[in-house]
């Protein structure tokens, strides 16, 4: 009896000390991982930085970048068995377990060499189809050498001829859809395998892994968001459809139906470019023009990127953020190379390093409105990287992809407030009117309200296909999803003989949009909160609407944001959100409050115009073979 007890005691003792020792082993493992990853990541960052400032012809940097990323992948693969073992044994306290969980997944590399090769082939194929497909010109059908990007894209930017736009819409799908269907099916199979090999129960769990939500939570969050967006979206949709009908007639834009998708693609696309969206739809008040920020910048003497940088740095200082040292620009900033080829891709960018206190900065020398607001985002990143630079490599990240975008875009949104622009003298005093505000909200709405359902469909379709609840041969199911949610339908009859879904997805098959939806919603949620606590937004005071909220000089914001950013990914996004806003869930309140004046305007205007709200399901896709 006694001896049995002794054995039990001894064995317990042995187990305890083994557990404690394994904690020490885990700590040591993590510390090595942090060090090694920092070295590997830094090599990659440095090479990419060289490419940014010297251009893609720097072959040495190109090679370094490739080698470094291969080596990183090999290293991550080598970690997999060990970290799986630590996870299985449930070693360490929750903090250590969280750090362990931040070790990157092997992803596709978990596939067998044959499958991995196949994955590479099908994804390359799909990308190539997109890149190499040549369409025939609308005006000269014998000229068949137009690439999608940039040739067709440029044509579409500038076209007002509906038949021309429809021609390319159809050709694009005809040439890319069926060509990619088989590859897409193989991709789906391999993705399912990958998710199992990475230890996930369902492909959708793997899909949503970076969001720290299980797939049903993520799905619910998204569905709820779309539901809350619906009243605003329907009013907006009704107004846009009414405008399209005025321009193109009742034949093309039928009453009570979704509008043809080729229109949507173009006016949404145009809203993102310098081009005016008026080409396809008018602003609510066409006579009230938007302030010319570029002219304002030049008038104020902000004639180069360096001056803009310091001007924006001063904005952040006025929020109580740490002052950027005088030497920052001369020591860390370099212009981006290769401007000439595509100025659209010219942006300011902060570059973080791991395990060393250093942030490099590449800038776009252009001075204009877009680059001005982009500076707020790039500087947010500088602050973000510095805020968490003390974190171990595994935590030196944002809590979910595009989280930092939400913070940066929140600041650029605040800076685009007419009240702040008035302070900067970019807008003349007295110019802020109801009409200006509605125009601005309408234009912003085209870039966000109209896009959220589109993003949602792109992810929802793929998740349903991956989980097997949607068959890729069911093209009409894709159109049902698209028309129900986005209010757009194909311009011509489609059937299950067609394959339309991947037209947009070919380039980055597994690029996901959910994090972008969350990021957009979060941007407005943060904005609303910061405006509320500083008294710049008062829900029931018409003098303090959210869309005019100016945060400059609100010194309590900076420390709050810096603190939240300092955690990197050591806490979940919900904890970090809670630190900033006292709320732990993402919600649509901010976005809806922001666009509330537009919503009211739309309801009234739609009533006056007598346009119908909502749409019937599309009848443009039928599972029967169509006669051709």
Binding residues for ligand NAG, rule: CB under 6 A, are: 17, 20-21, 23-24, 27, 46, 49, 143, 145, 161-164, 292, 294-295, 298, 331-332, 334, 353, 358, 360, 401-402, 405, 471, 473, 516, 582
Tell me which residue of 416, 359, 403 sits closest to 383, measured CA to CA: 359
List Cα–Cα distances, 66 to 75, 112, 416, in angstroms: 14, 22, 39
Tokens coding 413: 């949104």
Return the number of the residue (393 or 402) whose C-beta is nearest ligand NAG. Answer: 402
Nearest-approach distance from CB 334 to ligand NAG, in angstroms: 5
- CA–CA distance, 141 with 163 (Å, rounded to integer): 14
Return the number of the residue (145 or 540) whose C-beta is nearest ligand NAG. Answer: 145
Tell me which residue of 496, 491, 470 sits closest to 620, measured CA to CA: 491
- CA–CA distance, 255 with 350 (Å, rounded to integer): 49
Return the number of the residue (16 or 112) whose C-beta is nearest ligand NAG. Answer: 16
Strands 349-352, 359-363: pairing is antiparallel
Answer positive or negative: Cα dihedral of 452, 453, 455, 456.
positive
Nearest-approach distance from CB 323 to ligand NAG, in angstroms: 19
Nearest-approach distance from CB 27 to ligand NAG, in angstroms: 6
Other Cβ atoms closer than 10 A to 386: 20
Half-sphere exposure of 47 (CA within 13 A, CB side): 17
Nearest-approach distance from CB 140 to ligand NAG, in angstroms: 7
Nearest-approach distance from CB 320 to ligand NAG, in angstroms: 18
Nearest-approach distance from CB 54 to ligand NAG, in angstroms: 11
Nearest-approach distance from CB 504 to ligand NAG, in angstroms: 15
Q: Where are the beta strands (DSSP E) in 463-565?
A: 488-489, 494-495
The values of phi and psi at residue 558, to 5°, are -50, -55
Nearest-approach distance from CB 304 to ligand NAG, in angstroms: 14
Query: Under a CB-based contact definition with an 8 Å cutoff, are residues 393 and 354 in contact?
Result: yes
Nearest-approach distance from CB 143 to ligand NAG, in angstroms: 4
Return the number of the residue (16 or 323) whose C-beta is nearest ligand NAG. Answer: 16
Return the number of the residue (238 or 449) whose C-beta is nearest ligand NAG. Answer: 449
- CA–CA distance, 134 with 500 (Å, rounded to integer): 17
> Collapsing DSSP states into helix, strand and coil, what is residue 85?
helix
Tell me which residue of 196, 191, 63, 215 sits closest to 126, measured CA to CA: 191
Return the number of the residue (373 or 601) whose C-beta is nearest ligand NAG. Answer: 373
- CA–CA distance, 222 with 199 (Å, rounded to integer): 24
Return the number of the residue (251 or 627) whose C-beta is nearest ligand NAG. Answer: 251
Burial code (b: 16+ CB inside 10 Å, e: under 16) for 173-193 equals bebbbebbbebbebbbebbbb
Tokens coding 595: 């666009």
Return the number of the residue (122 or 407) whose C-beta is nearest ligand NAG. Answer: 407
39: cis peptide before it, omega within 30°? no
Nearest-approach distance from CB 498 to ligand NAG, in angstroms: 13
Q: What is the DSSP string of 421-473?
A: HHHTTSS-TT---HHHHHHHHHHHHHHHTTHHHHHHHHHHHHHHHHHTSS-TT
Nearest-approach distance from CB 379 to ligand NAG, in angstroms: 15
Other Cβ atoms closer than 10 A to 96: 16
Nearest-approach distance from CB 138 to ligand NAG, in angstroms: 7
Burial code (b: 16+ CB inside 10 Å, e: under 16) for 463-494 equals bbbbbeebebeebbbbbebbbebbbbbbbeeb
Return the number of the residue (58 or 164) whose C-beta is nearest ligand NAG. Answer: 164
Nearest-approach distance from CB 340 to ligand NAG, in angstroms: 18
Return the number of the residue (112 or 623) whose C-beta is nearest ligand NAG. Answer: 623
Return the number of the residue (339 or 533) whose C-beta is nearest ligand NAG. Answer: 533
Nearest-approach distance from CB 1 to ligand NAG, in angstroms: 28
Return the number of the residue (347 or 603) whose C-beta is nearest ligand NAG. Answer: 347
Return the number of the residue (235 or 498) whose C-beta is nearest ligand NAG. Answer: 498
Chain CA centroid to CA 170, Å:
27
Helix axis angle, 305-318 relative to 403-415, nearest 10°?
A: 90
Half-sphere exposure of 482 (CA within 13 A, CB side): 26
Return the number of the residue (46 or 118) whose C-beta is nearest ligand NAG. Answer: 46
């Amino acid at each position: 009896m006694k001896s049995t007890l002794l054995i039990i005691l001894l064995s317990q003792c042995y187990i305890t000390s083994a557990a404690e020792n394994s904690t020490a082993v885990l700590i040591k493992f993590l510390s090595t991982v942090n060090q090694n990853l920092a070295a590997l990541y830094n090599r990659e960052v440095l090479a990419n930085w060289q490419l940014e400032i010297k251009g893609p012809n720097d072959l040495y940097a190109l090679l370094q970048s490739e080698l470094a990323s291969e080596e990183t992948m090999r290293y991550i693969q080598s970690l997999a068995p060990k970290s799986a073992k630590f996870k299985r044994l449930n070693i360490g306290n929750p903090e250590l377990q969280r750090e362990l969980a931040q070790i990157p997944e092997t992803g596709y590399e978990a596939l067998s060499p044959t499958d991995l090769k196949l994955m590479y082939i099908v994804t390359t194929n799909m990308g190539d189809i997109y890149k190499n497909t040549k369409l025939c010109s609308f005006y000269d059908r014998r000229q068949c050498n137009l690439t999608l990007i940039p040739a067709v894209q440029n044509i579409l930017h500038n076209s007002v001829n509906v038949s021309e736009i429809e021609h390319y819409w159809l050709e694009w799908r005809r040439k890319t859809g069926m060509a990619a269907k088989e590859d897409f099916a193989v991709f789906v199979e391999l993705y399912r395998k990958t998710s199992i090999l990475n230890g996930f129960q369902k492909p959708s769990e793997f899909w949503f892994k970076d969001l720290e939500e299980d797939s049903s939570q993520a799905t619910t969050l998204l569905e709820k968001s779309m539901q809350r967006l619906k009243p605003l979206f329907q009013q907006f949709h009704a107004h846009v459809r009414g405008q399209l009908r005025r321009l193109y007639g009742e034949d093309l834009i039928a009453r009570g139906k979704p509008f043809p998708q080729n229109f949507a693609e173009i006016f949404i696309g145009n809203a993102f470019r310098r081009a005016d969206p008026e080409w396809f739809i008018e602003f609510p008040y066409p006579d009230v023009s938007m302030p010319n920020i570029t002219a304002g910048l030049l008038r104020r003497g902000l004639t180069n990127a360096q001056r803009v940088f310091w001007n924006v740095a001063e904005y952040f200082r006025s929020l109580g953020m740490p002052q950027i040292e005088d030497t920052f620009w001369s020591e860390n900033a370099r212009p981006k190379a290769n401007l000439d080829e595509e100025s659209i891709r010219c942006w300011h960018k902060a570059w973080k390093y791991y395990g060393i206190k250093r942030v490099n900065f590449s800038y776009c020398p252009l001075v204009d409105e877009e680059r001005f607001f982009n500076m707020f985002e790039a500087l947010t990143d500088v602050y973000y990287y510095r805020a968490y630079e003390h974190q171990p490599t595994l935590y030196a990240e944002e809590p979910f992809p595009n989280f930092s975008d939400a913070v940066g875009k929140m600041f650029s949104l605040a800076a685009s407030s007419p009240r702040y622009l008035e302070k900067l003298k970019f807008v003349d005093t007295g110019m802020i009117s109801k009409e200006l505000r509605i125009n601005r909200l309408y234009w912003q709405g085209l870039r966000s309200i109209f896009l959220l359902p589109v993003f949602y469909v792109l992810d929802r379709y793929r998740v349903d296909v991956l989980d097997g609840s949607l068959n890729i041969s069911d093209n009409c199911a894709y159109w049902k999803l698209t028309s129900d949610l986005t209010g757009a339908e194909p311009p011509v009859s489609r059937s299950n003989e067609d394959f339309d879904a991947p037209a947009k997805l070919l380039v980055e098959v597994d690029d996901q949009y959910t994090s972008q939806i969350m990021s957009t919603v979060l941007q407005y949620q943060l904005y609303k909160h910061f405006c509320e606590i500083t008294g710049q937004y008062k829900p029931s005071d018409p003098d303090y609407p959210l869309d005019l909220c100016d945060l400059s000089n609100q010194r309590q914001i900076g420390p709050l944001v810096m603190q939240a950013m300092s955690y990197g990914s050591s806490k979940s996004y919900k904890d970090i959100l809670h630190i900033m806003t006292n709320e732990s869930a993402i919600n649509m309140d901010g976005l809806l409050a922001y666009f509330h004046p537009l919503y009211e305007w739309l309801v009234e205007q739609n009533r006056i115009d007598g346009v119908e709200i909502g749409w019937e399901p599309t009848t443009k896709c039928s599972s029967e073979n169509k006669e051709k």
